[in-house]
Structure formats: C-alpha cells, structure tokens
Amino acid sequence: MAQQKATHITWHQATVTAQDREQLLNQKGCVIWFTGLSGSGKSTLANAVEQLLHQRQHHTYVLDGDNVRHGLNKNLGFSPADREENIRRIGEVAKLFADAGTIVMTAFISPYRADRAQARALLPDDRFVEVFVACPLDVCEERDTKGLYKKARAGEIKEFTGISAPYESPLEPEVTLNTADLSLEECAQAVMAFLETADLVPAGR
C-alpha cells in the first residue's frame, strides 16, 4: 500500500457528479481489467471490445501495458516492487476514467492477486470487471510475436512472468476466456454479453 506523503491537502467535490456524466454518456463508468500472460491476447481483446463499444457510440479508452510504460510509468522496471507500483498507478488512473463516466479497459499482465485486488477495491464491486485471458503458457510461447519468451528462456530477460517470475491466476474473475479455444470475435462478444448482463451498457440493438 502506497504511503500518503503529501500533507495539508483537501479533497474537493465536483459540482458535476459521476451520475451526471453517466447520464450524458448513456453508460456506466467502469473498469474492465484484462489480465493474463504475455501473448495471451489481452491487448488484442481489449481493443476488439473497445471497437464494439465504439460502434455502439460508447465513450471508451484502453490503457495498454507497453504504452503506459512509455510515459506515466517509464521510471518503473519489472521487479516485484516496481510491478506493484505499476499496477497501483494504473488502478488510480482507471478509477479517474471510470469517475469521468468512461468505460476504461486495462491490458496488463498484472501477475499478483493482491495488486489486482487493490485496484478492484478502488471502485464499487459492480464497476470492476476482471477478465482472465486464460491462454496456456505453451500457446503464448508459440505466438511470441515479440520474441520475449525466447529471450526469457535464454536468460536474456530477467523476472519474466511465466518463466522466471510467477503469475497468480484470478480465483473468481467475472469473465474467463481461453483465447486458444475461442476466436477473437467470440471472446469480444462474451465480454459484451457480460457488460449487458451487469447493466453497465444497454443491450445491443
């Protein structure tokens, strides 16, 4: 848990409420948290879901692991402590997006259950959707579009999740999808179906 260092600060309430913003956007601000091994298809799936939502005229944004490390989190590495801080920051940013009424998708390995639980705790239970992209390790290695697993196996990349660093699978995710068995379209539609069932977006027409 990050320590509060700033003092003499006061939380200012907005005059435009979260409910006001949601009514304007015809949706409920929420976080769809995609988690899984490198190469499991998190970013691809998050973008596919965003495309479906965009087609229905919903306001969305995808926070991608690599993209965020180019800016906001460029000072963080891949040690356990840095991974924890990486996810803590993303959780806080995602919370702000959700408060703005946006449907925000995060595509991060986020290997530790405690870190994901901390991100979930920032929002009401019904506004955090954990999607476990449960692709087997061997399939992720076969894909290896970035060549990362090969380098990790050769010892060129230290603390690589699934090889030399642990991945703690979700125990009770809202959605579990095996991208080795299901098509991208099937996975994206499954996420959309959950969002509709959870009353986060209106049923599609």
Tell me the CA distances in angstroms from 43 to 65, 67, 111, 202, one per residue in order. 8, 11, 15, 24
DSSP per residue, 129-176 = EEEEE---HHHHHHH-TTSHHHHHHTTSSSS-BTTTB-----SS-SEE
Give the single-character DSSP code of 14: P
Q: Does 110 participate in catalysis according to the annotation?
A: yes
* Residue 31, φ and ψ in degrees, nearest 5: -120, 125
Q: Which of 110, 164, 169, 183 is catalytic?
A: 110
The SS3 assignment for 63 reads strand
How many angstroms separate the CA atoms of 193 and 24, rounded?
Answer: 23
Catalytically active residues, by annotation: 110
